[in-house]
Amino acid sequence: MVERGSPLSKIITFLIVSFSGAYLIDLFILNFPVPTKLELLLTYQIVRVARMFTPFLGVIIALLVSRSPLLEGLRDYGVKIGRRFFPWFLVAISIPPLITVFGVLYALLLGFPVESPTNLLQKLTGSVAPIDPVVLLALIVFSSMLSGATLNAIFAFGEEIGWRGLMLDELLHKV
């Protein structure tokens, strides 16, 4: 028998809630065709993003079932902003421009053609963008920095607190 509050009970509860929630969302997605209208596409994307929060829900349920203090448990699993947050935040937002610069340099060194982002935009939309290619590339890189540091970080938080937080900590207690 598994004791309430034991690492194994938290792991089992977390896995049941995380996977069952994710599978329910997957079932919803699989039973509906990918929408073509913009409004429906946004709803579809929101449903897909909700899947990333099922591990966070699993952590909360595991803490509640084990009768652990919720805020203290979340803090123990890494929900905090400390001194190390801002240096790592700067590292995170510098990654998209570095990938762009090194990717273009690597492609040029290997002799691959580097296509202008305006050409790609024209192929996708069928119209020419009235903007300089360098400015367009800078806007794309800046928007990826902004979305990666804000929106994606918020969505990925649900998975990180579950898999790197609860699972890693509780498995370390078991080993």
Q: What is the pLDDT of residues 55-85, one digit of tens each?
A: 999 999 999 999 888 888 888 888 877 788 7
Distance, C-alpha 118 to centroid of its chain:
28
pLDDT band of residue 129 (cuts 50, 70, 90) is: low
The answer to which of 25-34, 40-49, 157-166 has the lowest mean pLDDT is 40-49
Q: Judge whether 54 and 14 are in contact, CB under 8 Å.
A: no
Residue-level pLDDT at 14: 93
**Residue spans of alpha helices (H) in 51-166:** 54-65, 70-76, 85-110, 117-125, 133-149, 151-159
The stretch 109-117 carries a mean pLDDT of 85
